[in-house]
Structure 1
Amino acid sequence: MVSQRPGGAGRSVVSSLCGVLAVVLLPVALVAFWASVLLTRTDVFVDELEPVVSTPQVQEALTDGIVDGVLGVVQLRPVVEQALEGPLRTQAATVVASPQVAAAWTSAIRAVHTQLLAVMEGRADTQLDADGRVAVRVTIPVPALTSTLERFGVPDAASIAPVVTIPLVKADDLRTVRQVYRVADVVGPWAPAAVAVLALLAVALARRRRAVAAAVGAGWIVLALGLALVVMVAREPLMRRVTPPVARTIADTAYGLAARNLDAEIGVAVGAGLVLLLLAGVSGVVGRRRAGRPA
Structure 2
Amino acid sequence: MARQASGGRSFLSLLCGLLAVVLLPVALVGFWASVLLTRTDVFVQELQPVVAKPQVQQALADGVVNGVLSAVQLQPAIEKALEVPLRTEATQLVASPQVATAWTSALRAVHTQFIAVMQGRGSTELDDQGRVAMRVAIPIPALTSTLEQAGVPNAAAIAPVVTIPLVKASDLQTAQRAYRVADAWGPWAPVVVAVLALLSIALARRWRTATTLVALGWIAASAALALVVMVAREPLMRRVGQQVARTVADAAYGLAARNLYYEIAIAVGVAVVMLVVSAVSLAFGRRQR
Q: Normalised by the size of structure 2, how large is the TM-score?
A: 0.85
Structure 1 residues 229 and 152: CA distance shift in structure 2, 3 A: closer
Instruction: Say whether residues 1:82 and 2:76 are aligned partners.
Output: yes
CA distance in 1, matches of 2:150, 2:35: 52
Contact 2:86 2:146 in 1 (8 A): no
CA distance in 2, matches of 1:257, 1:89: 33
Match of 1:45 in 2: 46
CA distance in 1, matches of 2:28, 2:252: 18
Q: Report the 3-state secondary structure (helix = DSSP H, G, I; strand = E; otherwise coil) of the residue aligned with 1:129.
A: coil
Give RMSD over aligned pairs.
2.6
Contact 2:102 2:137 in 1 (8 A): yes
CA distance in 2, matches of 1:153, 1:65: 17
Match of 1:188 in 2: 186
Contact 2:33 2:186 in 1 (8 A): yes
Q: Report the 3-state secondary structure (helix = DSSP H, G, I; strand = E; otherwise coil) of the residue aligned with 1:267.
A: helix
The one-letter amino acid of 2:197's match is A
After alignment, is 177-186 or 263-272 more displaced? 177-186
Q: Report the 3-state secondary structure (helix = DSSP H, G, I; strand = E; otherwise coil) of the residue aligned with 2:2.
A: coil
After alignment, is 280-289 or 210-219 more displaced? 280-289
Contact 1:59 1:96 in 2 (8 A): yes
CA distance in 2, matches of 1:209, 1:44: 43
* Correspondence list, 1:46-195, <5 A: 46-52=47-53, 55-68=57-70, 70-71=71-72, 80-86=74-80, 88-93=82-87, 94-98=89-93, 99=96, 100-118=98-116, 120-121=118-119, 123-147=121-145, 149-150=147-148, 154-173=152-171, 175-195=173-193
Aligned-residue sequence identity (percent) comes to: 56
Q: How many pairs were matched up?
A: 281
Structure 1 residues 190 and 8: CA distance shift in structure 2, 3 A: same
Q: Report the 3-state secondary structure (helix = DSSP H, G, I; strand = E; otherwise coil) of the residue aligned with 1:128.
A: coil
Structure 1 residues 147 and 9: CA distance shift in structure 2, 3 A: closer
Q: Report the 3-state secondary structure (helix = DSSP H, G, I; strand = E; otherwise coil) of the residue aligned with 1:127.
A: coil
Structure 1 residues 284 and 83: CA distance shift in structure 2, 3 A: same
Structure 1 residues 150 and 268: CA distance shift in structure 2, 3 A: closer
CA distance in 2, matches of 1:45, 1:66: 29
Q: Report the 3-state secondary structure (helix = DSSP H, G, I; strand = E; otherwise coil) of the residue aligned with 1:97.
A: helix
CA distance in 2, matches of 1:132, 1:124: 17
Q: Report the 3-state secondary structure (helix = DSSP H, G, I; strand = E; otherwise coil) of the residue aligned with 1:207.
A: coil
After alignment, is 125-134 or 276-285 more displaced? 125-134
The one-letter amino acid of 1:16's match is L
Deviations 1:98-156 (A, max 9, x none): 22334323322333444544555455422332322232322233344444555566544
CA distance in 2, matches of 1:44, 1:147: 34
- Residue 27 of structure 1 and its aligned partner are, at CA, apart by 1.0
- Higher Cα Rg, which structure: 1
Unaligned runs of at least 5 residues, structure 2? none
Structure 1 residues 145 and 200: CA distance shift in structure 2, 3 A: closer
Contact 2:131 2:167 in 1 (8 A): yes
Unaligned runs of at least 5 residues, structure 1? none
Contact 1:168 1:247 in 2 (8 A): yes
Deviations 1:143-175 (A, max 9, x none): 444445555665443323232323343233465
Equivalent of 2:27 in 26, 29, 37:
29
After alignment, is 201-210 or 172-181 more displaced? 172-181
Contact 1:46 1:110 in 2 (8 A): no
Contact 1:116 1:134 in 2 (8 A): no
Contact 1:137 1:164 in 2 (8 A): yes
Which of structure 1's runs of 4+ aligned residues deviate more than 6 A?
none
* Correspondence list, 1:221-240, <5 A: 221-240=219-238
CA distance in 2, matches of 1:152, 1:229: 53
Contact 1:32 1:188 in 2 (8 A): yes
